Structure 1
């Protein structure tokens, strides 16, 4: 009898562990983000990222830096979706995230790719740099990824200014934090 109880307990714990490690579907994450954004009168900052992407980790670290985290939390509901994983790590992807990325960015830009949405899911702006409202090169990857270079950080600050209540001083703090990423981007030449 003890053996059956041990096996049953092991199976239950294994199932719970598996269930907790399975990523939530993109649809579930977004429904929760939109509901919270509507309730708190905020925008949704949706960030597509992957485990292999070092710039995705830099983006998350910059947002979560003590100098910035409260500023983002006070103005945005932040949602992360895992996409474009390598073959051996496809299980990390949020089901439906690839399709959602294609809806917002049909060119499959580099990562991280982010978009700011209203509480109803309408896109307001995204991480593709535009000049005079148009993509610099419609056939190229215009995604800034994690803002680091002065042009990218300034564009990012404009995005935040137009979608939040951040003050000039708060935006300056965010810009200063993201500019710390420049040395890495300049050294690697990539995003």
Structure 2
């Protein structure tokens, strides 16, 4: 799980929440009170849906809609009945809960407080790391929701243009995912440049832990 989880208060405006998710390249944002008690959660798709359905191309009402979006708080759109797991729960239980609820992330709660978050990508990356043996040399990256043919081709082309060797590649499709994630082991010790280039192309990408 991710321990240093980013969370925000319920009165956070949507535009600020959106900026936080973009800046930290995250797809899920837990909502907590002052004591880190979990109140709910919002994901990127929910935010995008809200922005898309509220905006209108007609100039006569555009500013009214913009005002509505800016004034709306996370507490108005967040999912409140959020299933959770504890830090001592097994990966199998978390995966079963994610699959049965068709979710992609679960808050990790201990003594009523948010202590982390676990995602389908976390679980599947862990499984693949054990089953799909990666070379110890080089560094791995993950490109989220890029498992379709066209996206995968763009990812591979980007890496080739940088002149970096692709040592291993695997595609995984967590439960509830529209598209699978791509795990790649690269022939460099620091793949930061690759991640930054992929993000510039619009992909959600990150470094895999060694």
TM-score w.r.t. length of structure 1: 0.26
Higher strand share: 2
Higher helix share: 1
Larger RCO (CA within 8 A; separation ≥ 6): 1
TM-score w.r.t. length of structure 2: 0.24
